[in-house]
Each structure stands twice: as structure tokens, then as C-alpha cells.
Amino acid sequence: MTNRKDDIMKLCCEISANKKIKAAFTSSAKGAAVAGGGAFVGGLLGGPAGIAVGAALGGALGGWMTSGQFRPLPEILMELAPTQQEKLYSDIMTIVGTLKWTDLAQLIAQVNGNASLHEQVLAAILSYTKTQLKAEVRYED
């Protein structure tokens, strides 16, 4: 089981690396806290006009902080917690579960050799990244 799970995780990494996919985590709560804190401090220091200035500066800083740093998706996938890996493994196994493979190279060849299967696996990886990890995804130029 562990070997199959490792193979599936490496398959996900291989596919996302070939597509040059990167992901970034955004943190809306952190940005909102910075914007609110800016308005609060501005209000303390400058009254009503200070609230407006503090909110503007806090909002700009909060937006910059939450823009996220894009990292290669394979790197992110390999750092997932075991429970997160299990969920991705389960999602991918629903697609490739009928395949028989003896090693990673054979699994990759089977998936890459079938365009429909390849697209299904890629879609599952992207869906997992966006919904479960709440990450923004982009393709590297």
C-alpha cells in the first residue's frame, strides 16, 4: 500500500512538473487583520481622517502580504501531511485504480500514454490543489 501511495504521489509530481505548475497559498484572514489594524491605528493617531489613511495603507500592505509566493507544485505535494497525501492518493486512485503496474516508470508510461487518463489525473491534481489546499494555481511561462 505504501509503495502504491508513493508511486501515486510521484506520478502527481511528475505530471505537475511537466506542466510547470506552481501554486501559492493565500491568507485572506491575515490580510483582513492587517487592513483592520491599519484602520485602527490610523484612527487612534489621526481621528476620522487617520482611519481612512490607515485603512488604505493597511489594505495595500495586507494585499501585498497575501499575494502569496508561487512555488513548484511538486514541491508542495511532497510536503503534504500524511492525511492530505491520503486524500490526494484516494482521489487519484479512483481514476487509475484499474491499472496494473509494477514500478513508477510503468505507471507514468501508462498514464502519459493515454491522453484521456492523463487529463483526468491532471484535473484531479488541480481540483485537489484548489479546493483542499485552497491554493492559487498558475502555469509557468
Q: Are residues 18 and 82 in the same domain?
A: yes
Q: Are residues 78 and 107 in the same domain?
A: yes
The set of residues, in sequence order, having a beta carbon less than 8 Å from that of 26 and lying 6+ positions away, is 66, 67, 68, 134, 135, 136
Q: Are residues 81 and 16 in the same domain?
A: yes
CA distances (Å), origin 86, targets 13, 39, 117: 15, 42, 20
- Between 128 and 40, name the one with better pLDDT: 128
CA–CA dist 52, 50 (Å, integer): 5
Q: Are residues 104 and 58 in the same domain?
A: no
Q: Are residues 7 and 62 in the same domain?
A: no
Confidence (pLDDT) at 53: 81
In this predicted model, what pLDDT tens digit does every residue of 99-110 receive, in sequence order? 999 999 999 999
Q: Are residues 51 and 108 in the same domain?
A: no
Q: Are residues 129 and 61 in the same domain?
A: no
Confidence (pLDDT) at 62: 64
Q: Are residues 98 and 134 in the same domain?
A: yes
Q: Are residues 55 and 75 in the same domain?
A: no
CA angle in degrees (0–180, nearest 5) for 22-87-8: 70
Query: How would residue 1 be classed by pLDDT, with cut points 50, 70 and 90?
Result: very low
List the domain range (segments joined by +) for residue 134: 2-25+68-139
CA angle in degrees (0–180, nearest 5) for 90-119-132: 40
For residue 87, list its beta bridge partners. Answer: none
Q: Are residues 77 and 122 in the same domain?
A: yes
Q: Are residues 124 and 60 in the same domain?
A: no
Percent of residues, the chain, with pLDDT higher than 90 = 51
SS3 70: coil
Mean pLDDT of 3-32: 83
Q: Could you tell me the pTM of the whole model? A: 0.70
Q: Are residues 85 and 125 in the same domain?
A: yes
Return the DSSP state at 132: T
